[in-house]
Copies of this chain bind each other. A is one copy, B any other.
Amino acid sequence: MCGAEYPAGPRAPMTCPRCGITGILDVQYDYRAVARRLTRRALARRTDFSEWRYRELLPLGARAHLPALAVGWSPLEPAPALARHLGLGSLLLKDDGRNPSASLKDRASAVGAVKALEARKHTIACASTGNAASSLACMAASLGLQAIIFVPERAPEPKLAQLLTFGATVLRVRGSYDQTWDICQRSCERWGWYNRNAAVNPFLVEGKKTVSLEICEQAEWRLPEWVAVSVGDGCTIAGTWKGFREMRTLGLIRRAPKLLGVQAAGAAPVTEAFRSGAALRPVEPHTMADSIAVGVPRNWKKAVDAVRESGGTMLNVGDDEIQEAMRVTGRLAGVFAEPAAAAAVAGLARAAREGVIPRRAATLAVITGNGLKDTRAALDAAPKPMDIPPDLAAVEAALAP
């Protein structure tokens, strides 16, 4: 935030040497030069359907070694029945659960892993409640890097299963997410591993922003008025905003959507800071939405700034609203969202109900992760199966109203 600038390159710092650890750097591009190459027409001709189609807006060298896995270009799908049910004019779902490791974090981890290779590091580490970790393990596997993952004790089993299958070294830390984060940070300093933590690594947000670059193109440049994103550490919504802002800077869109930042009521320090205008006050997180259960969000300031700059707002939803959003998103749109992803839909529902956004607004929810990543939560939220013996009378009885 001090305004200092540093040239890019493999030896560039990640956080500002002047501001210290909280001063994560921002990657800048020569937007005039980019605008000449990245036109609507040029994009329409590109056949790379992955996040790498936006090479001019990514911090990669010309000879960067990219993973073989297709990252990004997740589908943007209309959900008319769900929109009607929630009182929205229209609703698009950007289904990032369709990424290689089934979450939006793959966008960031792919850039992180490519940058690690560029810096000639062969070990890459992160601390994560789950999605950042499994995506890093996935991308590391694809590029032949060693991944070391620090996870807190309460990581859901499916995310652990991914990590271990992708061959990561998994260190399960007896402590909170915040302690897990600190020990990872210190280990990277101690052993010189590449650090994938989004709160200190400025390149990751560059991957995350591709979600909005794609939204602009996939919506054929007719953007919804509101885009809902759930907020934990704050990095994802900050990245989403950077993408829209850059598209506007390039003249590819005229107006960016308003952001609706959604936190779980039991872990809502960013919403609190947004409302009070004061500095963040850490909380003890309590929510079923583990991917956004963050008590000390490292990127809260960028998140607050992003929402404010977009002209949007923030609100909180209870776990019961998240569960209801999981059910209706599944039943009415055929999309299985993990709790943190369903929180975005729950936020739109509440915003429409309370008049925070106009009824009949054109909206979009970013589905940040697949429900298969936390099936325990889904089973808690869902109705129960009926057990029957194998005969017709039992079927008839079970289906009787």
Question: Which residues on A are within 8 Å of B, measured CB to CB?
Answer: 49, 67-70, 75, 77-81, 95, 98, 100-102, 138-142, 144, 148, 151, 157-158, 160-167, 169-175, 179-180, 182-183, 186-187, 190, 326-327, 330-336, 370-373, 375, 378-379, 381-392, 395, 398-399
Contact of A165 among B70, B100, B382 (CB under 8 A): B382
Q: CA–CA, A81 to B145, complex, Å?
A: 12
26 contacts between A and B (CB under 8 A): A68-B77, A68-B80, A68-B333, A68-B334, A70-B77, A81-B144, A100-B335, A102-B102, A138-B336, A140-B334, A141-B333, A142-B334, A151-B385, A160-B385, A161-B379, A162-B336, A163-B385, A164-B378, A166-B331, A169-B399, A171-B386, A171-B398, A173-B390, A183-B390, A187-B395, A370-B372
- CB neighbours (8 Å) of A378 from chain B are 161-162, 164-165
Tell which of A142, A332, A334, A336 has the most Cβ of chain B within 10 Å: A334
- A332 in contact with B141 (CB, 8 Å): yes
Expressed in whole angstroms, the minimum distance between the Cβ of A101 and any Cβ of chain B is 7
| Chain B residue at smallest Cβ distance from A326 | B165
Q: CA–CA, A148 to B386, complex, Å?
A: 11
Q: CA–CA, A88 to B388, complex, Å?
A: 48
| Chain B residue at smallest Cβ distance from A151 | B385
- B172 in contact with A371 (CB, 8 Å): no
- A384 in contact with B166 (CB, 8 Å): no
